[in-house]
Amino acid sequence: SAETTQFDAVVIGSGPGGEGAAMQLVKNGRRVAMIEKYASLGGGCTHWGTIPSKALRHSVSRLIEFNANPLFTAGCGHRSMSFADILRHAQGVIQQQVQMRSGFYQRNGVTVLHGVASFEGENKLKLTQADGSVDYITTKQIVIATGSRPYRPADVDFNHARIYDSDTVLSLKHEPRSIIIYGAGVIGCEYASIFRGLGVKVDLINTRERLLSFLDAEISDALSYHLRNSGVVIRHNEEYERIEGHEDGVTLYTQSGKRLDADCLLYANGRSGNIEELKVENVGLQPNHRGQLEVSAQYQTSVANIYAVGDIIGYPSLASAAYDQGRICATAMCFGDCEQRLISDIPTGIYTIPEISSVGKTEEELTQQKVPYEVGRAHFKDLARAQISSMAVGSLKLLFHRETKEVLGIHCFGERAAEIIHIGQAIMEQKHGGNTIEYFVNTTFNYPTMAEAYRVAALNGLNRIRD
C-alpha cells in the first residue's frame, strides 16, 4: 500500500543540478529527499554525458600523443585501440563517480529514493518504482533537475542497430570503420575527435555555416583547421533529406543532393528537456517546445515553491553551471531573495582534440560593442614546456582594453586549455584594478609551464600598443 512521507525539500534528478541543490539544502539544515529514476546516481552527466565522453577523449588523446612520438614508438611501432578498449576505462570512471555519490549522500543524510517522480499537486509527488509500486511524498519545496536527453526527430529510426545518439553510442557493439556524425555542436565535434583519433573515417555534418559559432572566430577556424588536418571531413550548411539504415551500414541523403555512406551514424543535433514524466501540467507549469521551464534569476518557476535548475532550464546546459545553479537555488529556497548569482562570464570548456576553452568577450563582440581592444598572443610552440611535452599545437589569446589594460576575454586552444583558462579567469574577476594584463608581466611563473603563455601573450599585447 502507498505510503506518504514528509520532507522539507525534494530534489528530482541526481545529476549535477540536483546534487548542488541537495547538498546545499542539507547544509542549511533541511530534511531532503532526492528522487532518481535510474538505479544508479549521477545523472546523464555521469552515465551518458560529460564523464564518459571526457574519459573516452582522454584515452584517445594519449594514444595520439604516443603514436606521434618516435621515442615511444621506436621498437614497438604504432599502437591502436578499439572503441571497446576505451569504453572500459570510461566505465571504470563512471563506477567510481557513482560510488562516491552514494557515499556522500548517505554521510550527509540525503534520503535517496529510486523511481519516476510526477506531480500530484504543488506539495505532493507520486513516486512510481521500477516494479510498478507507488508511493506519495509530501514536501514544502521541490527542485526539478531532470536534465535533458538527445533530441530524436520522428523520421530517423533510432531503433536501427547502426543509428545512434550520444546516449546509445556508449553501447556501440561493432568497431566502425566509418561514421557520419550529424550535428556539429559541442557533442558532435567532441565525438568527431574521439572517432578520428581511433582511426575511424569521419564525416561531420554541420547544419550551420561555421563550427561552434559562439566561439571567437579565430578559435573556431583553428578547430576546423585541426579537425580537417586530422582527416575529419566537415560539411557545412548541410541538412539531411533522409537517413536510411541498412543491414551493413547507413546512408544519408543531404538536402543539397549528396549521398553519404558509412558503417554507422551518430545523430547529435539538439537536446530536449526531460519533462513529460513529471506531469508539470498538474501544477500549471508550461514548458516551451524544447521541454524547458522558465525560471527567475533565483531559479524559481511560476509556482512559488517549485524551482528548476540544470539542462531543464536551457542555456548554458553545462554540468559546471548546473551544479552552481543548484547551490544558488538552495540558498534562495532557504533564505529568500539573496545576492548570490551565477557569475556572468561562465567559462566554456570544449574537449575536442585540440581542446578549447574561453571566458569573456570574443573579438567579434568587442568590435560590435565598439570597445577599443588589443590582442596579445602566445603560441604554444614557443613555450619550453610545450616543446618538452610535445604540446606544440595551440595558442593563448588575450583580449584587453587598450587604455585600462583590463582583461576582456581569453581564448585558448591546445592540450590543457580547459585548465589553463582558469588562471586568466581568476585575474579577470579581480576588483579594484587587479584585472589587468600587467599582472601577467609582473608576477613570477614557474618555469617551464604552460601557464607562462599568459606572460608571453601579455608582453606581445603590450608591444602592440607601444608600436
Q: Which residues contact 355 (CB under 8 A, 6 or more apart)?
A: 349, 413, 414, 415, 416, 417, 418
Q: Which residues contact 294 (CB under 8 A, 6 or more apart)?
A: 288, 301, 302, 313
- Can you tell me which of 11, 18, 163, 360 binds ligand FAD, judged by CB under 6 A? 18
Minimum CB separation from ligand FAD for residue 72, in Å? Answer: 28
Q: Is 29 annotated as a binding residue?
A: no
Q: Is 294 annotated as a binding residue?
A: no
Task: Report CA torsion sign: 454, 457, 458, 459.
Answer: positive
Q: Is 173 annotated as a binding residue?
A: no
- 187 and 204 Cβ atoms separated by less than 8 Å: no
Measured from the CB atom, the residue of 150 and 409 that comes closer to ligand FAD is 150
Q: How far apart are CA 157 and CA 155, in angstroms?
A: 6
- 439 and 427 Cβ atoms separated by less than 8 Å: yes
Minimum CB separation from ligand FAD for residue 15, in Å? Answer: 2
Q: Which of 315, 280, 7, 17 is nearest to 146 (CA)?
A: 17
> Amino acid identity of 378?
A
Measured from the CB atom, the residue of 342 and 392 that comes closer to ligand FAD is 342
The DSSP H or E segment spanning 115 is none
DSSP for 178-244 reads EEEEE--SHHHHHHHHHHHHTT-EEEEE-SSSSSSTTS-HHHHHHHHHHHHHTT-EEE-S--EEEEE
Minimum CB separation from ligand FAD for residue 137, in Å? Answer: 12
Q: Which residues contact 337 (CB under 8 A, 6 or more apart)?
A: 298
Q: Which of residues 309-328 bind ligand FAD (CB under 6 A)?
A: 310-312, 317-320, 322
Q: Is 41 annotated as a binding residue?
A: yes
* Residue 278 touching ligand FAD (CB under 6 A): yes
* Residue 226 touching ligand FAD (CB under 6 A): no
Helix, strand or coil, per DSSP, at residue 435: coil
Measured from the CB atom, the residue of 41 and 427 that comes closer to ligand FAD is 41
Q: Which residues pair with 194 in a beta bridge?
A: none
* Residue 12 touching ligand FAD (CB under 6 A): yes
Minimum CB separation from ligand FAD for residue 350, in Å? Answer: 8
Measured from the CB atom, the residue of 119 and 439 that comes closer to ligand FAD is 119
* Residue 36 touching ligand FAD (CB under 6 A): yes
* Residue 352 touching ligand FAD (CB under 6 A): no
- 305 and 123 Cβ atoms separated by less than 8 Å: yes
* Residue 15 touching ligand FAD (CB under 6 A): yes
Q: Which residues contact 92 (CB under 8 A, 6 or more apart)?
A: none
Q: Which residues contact 367 (CB under 8 A, 6 or more apart)?
A: none
Convert residues 78-117 into a mask of x (bound to ligand FAD by CB under 6 A) and - (unbound): --------------------------------------xx
Measured from the CB atom, the residue of 189 and 423 that comes closer to ligand FAD is 189
Convert residues 44-83 into a mask of x (bound to ligand FAD by CB under 6 A) and - (unbound): xx--xxx--xx-----------------------------
Task: Report CA torsion sign: 331, 333, 337, 343.
Answer: positive
Minimum CB separation from ligand FAD for residue 185, in Å? Answer: 10
Q: Is 184 annotated as a binding residue?
A: yes
Applying CB under 6 A, which part among 91-99, 100-108, 145-153, 373-381 lies near ligand FAD? 145-153
Q: How far apart are CA 133 and CA 303, in angstroms?
A: 28
Minimum CB separation from ligand FAD for residue 168, in Å? Answer: 12
Q: Is 148 annotated as a binding residue?
A: yes
Contact residues: ligand FAD, CB under 6 A: 12-18, 35-38, 43-45, 48-50, 53-54, 116-117, 145-148, 166, 187, 274, 277-278, 310-312, 317-320, 322, 349, 351
Annotated binding residues for FAD: 36-45, 54, 146-148, 311
